[in-house]
Amino acid sequence: MFNLHVIQAKNGDCFILEFGSSDKSKYILIDGGPSGVYEDSLRKVLSEIKKKSDKLELVILSHIDDDHIIGLLDLLEERYIDKREGTSNIIKCKDIWFNSFRDAYEINKDDESDINTCIDNINRILEKEMEKKTRSYRLGTKLSELSSEKELNLRVNKHFDYKAVTCENISLPTKFGNLELKIIGPNNDSVQKLRTKWLKWMKDDCLKLKIRAADKKEAIKADASKPNLSSIMILAKADNKKILLTGDGLGKHIIEGLKQNNLLGEDEKFFVDVLKIPHHGSNKNVDAAFFETVIADNYVISGDGSHHNPELMTLEWIVNAAKNQNRKIKLYCTNRTDNIDKLIKKKKPVDHGYELIIMGEAVPSIVINLSD
């Protein structure tokens, strides 16, 4: 058995891998979506799963942006209350994979002290403008606290010897019954580069902003995408089927990860049964060549039109690549958006060989069944 549950996650990501056998299903949760997703969708899906299994085999947070982490925080907070009160209403989870702020950027105590000082100073000066820039840091810290022995006693990155989740920190796929998980990214080199850039911004640019507090446009220019670039990207394999989960990673990093793991074929292409489109279909993360290299039968796009995602250009790249290679594909979209309507009008499904499946806001999830 191998299925992907696509949760209605608004402008974020939330997925559940189902694997095992027809007699005994097992589940892994990847990301939890932004605010409201747990209440509106994820809790309902997990309640149904709990009728079949009392636990999640693993929880994975791709990165610490709020459109991926908040639903997980909501779940773990309810689980903590459940545990404290001695009840069993919420599904259990023991292991979690995620790179905390300290892990992702290899922050030592001296650096962290400097960063906290910068954050405190700039928050006092710029208030709401800096709220978004430091939010990921605070959310990651909150998840670390919930995962601690004092709260839920979750085993954080146990399969990586309690180190950061990177390609180099585990050499072989991690097995869960019939399922194998292979880390495609990030690698140690990209994490190190991110650390250098982030610390430079926090120590230099933030202090400049303290002096030039009136120039609030400078705050808006700050690079808030760095957690995206440290996304945990995973190749999931079971029963000769493959799903590539990409978080908000860059297409070039995905291809680098495939090369690093010797997964590209002689034709320099890589096929998966399901490809989760990076960063909700943003055209800043991928290009046309990416979809000529990484090909799939099924494409999943989690987005609701926020920030124009999925971008029309990205949708066209997917459809064009499939048509050029004479492939029939399915596009699974969590919401109907203006750009999806433009795609349908500009490149009709009947003429370009694709089928469009749209969930809609009221549907908590759909299942892509790879077991047939």
CATH code, domain with 296: 3.60.15.10
Q: How far apart are CA 288 and CA 307, in angstroms?
A: 20
Q: Left, alpha or beta for 109 (phi > 0: left; psi -120 to 50: alpha)?
A: alpha
Number of domains in the chain: 1
309 by Cβ neighbours in 10 Å (0-12 / 13-18 / 19+) ranks as buried
pLDDT digits (tens, 9 = 90+) for 119-160: 455 454 444 444 444 556 567 667 877 787 667 888 999 999
| pLDDT recorded at residue 100 | 72
Strands 58-60, 25-30: pairing kind: parallel
Q: What angle do CA 36, 67, 136 make, to 5 degrees?
A: 120
Q: Contact, 60 vs 234, CB < 8 A?
A: yes
Amino acid at the residue 188: N
**184: Cβ–Cβ under 8 A, 6 or more apart, which residues?**
167, 233, 234, 235, 244, 246, 254, 257, 258, 261
| Per-residue tokens: 244 | 């590539």
Where is average pLDDT lowest: 84-93, 143-152, 273-282? Answer: 143-152
pLDDT digits (tens, 9 = 90+) for 44-69: 999 999 999 999 999 999 988 889 99
Confidence of residue 212 (pLDDT cuts 50, 70, 90): very low
Q: Where are the beta strands (DSSP E) in the chain?
A: 2-7, 15-20, 25-30, 55-56, 58-60, 92-93, 95-97, 155-156, 174-176, 179-185, 233-238, 241-245, 270-276, 294-301, 329-333, 354-358, 365-369
Q: How far apart are CA 317 and CA 15, in angstroms?
A: 24
| pLDDT recorded at residue 213 | 44
Domain that holds residue 276: 2-369
Phi and psi (nearest 5°) for 248?
-110, 30
pTM of the model: 0.87
| pLDDT recorded at residue 129 | 42
Phi and psi (nearest 5°) for 299?
-120, 130
Q: What is the DSSP letter of 205?
A: I
pLDDT digits (tens, 9 = 90+) for 340-360: 999 999 999 999 999 999 998
